[in-house]
């Protein structure tokens, strides 16, 4: 059962196998508990062959449950945009909406980017801290 959705920075840490706290926490999870949003995958693809190799990306994807940003996530994104209009829409808002739609915890090292959405019910963990 899916429990976590990874933000882009956590995926990069896993590909680089550091910091150790992230790899240890990841290893402690059971198969199927950790997901990757198609939004996060899009962000990772922006760095393909610049920051990440195709081999690293394929290896990462094989260890995660891929989740498409769907109509439920889109509806929550719309609600977050209405609830927090002063904050510019971004990939982070889409990732937050996706985690909320799935009812899972978002794992990131950039907790400040998601603090605003905690009031909307988003649960955030930092495995790098």
Q: What is the pLDDT of residues 10-59, one digit of tens each?
A: 999 999 999 999 999 999 999 999 999 999 999 999 887 777 788 989 99
For position 68, what pLDDT does the model report?
98
Phi, psi of 98, deg, nearest 5: -65, -45
* C-alpha to C-alpha distance for 29 and 36, rounded to whole angstroms: 14
The pLDDT score that the predictor gives to residue 109 is 97
Residue 29 backbone dihedrals phi, psi, to 5 degrees: -85, 155
Collapsed DSSP state (helix, strand, coil) of residue 36:
strand
SS3 label, residue 110: coil
3-state secondary structure of 102: helix
Domain count across the chain: 1
Query: In terms of Cα–Cα distance, which of 70, 74, 3 is closest to 35?
Result: 3
Q: 65 has which bridge partners?
A: 35
What is the domain-level CATH number for residue 63?
A: 3.40.50.1010
> pLDDT at position 15, please?
93
pLDDT digits (tens, 9 = 90+) for 88-117: 768 999 999 999 999 999 999 999 999 999
pTM of full prediction above 0.75: yes
Answer for the pair 7, 19: CB distance below 8 angstroms, yes or no.
no
Tokens 């550091």 correspond to: 18
| φ, ψ dihedrals at 125, nearest 5° | -130, 150
Which strands sit side by side in the sheet containing 4-6, from one edge to the other?
A: 65-67, 34-37, 4-6, 105-107, 124-125
Structural domain of 27: 4-125
């Amino acid at each position: 059962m899916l429990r976590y959705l990874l933000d882009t920075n956590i995926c990069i840490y896993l590909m680089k196998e550091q910091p150790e706290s992230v790899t240890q926490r990841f290893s402690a999870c059971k198969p199927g508990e950790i997901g990757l949003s198609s939004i996060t995958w899009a962000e990772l693809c922006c760095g393909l062959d610049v920051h990440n190799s195709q081999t690293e990306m394929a290896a990462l994807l094989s260890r995660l449950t891929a989740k498409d940003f769907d109509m439920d996530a889109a509806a929550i994104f719309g609600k977050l945009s209405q609830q927090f209009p002063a904050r510019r829409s971004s990939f982070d808002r889409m990732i937050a909406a996706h985690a909320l739609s799935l009812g899972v915890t978002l794992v990131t090292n950039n907790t400040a980017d998601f603090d605003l959405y905690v009031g909307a019910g988003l649960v955030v963990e930092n495995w790098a801290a």
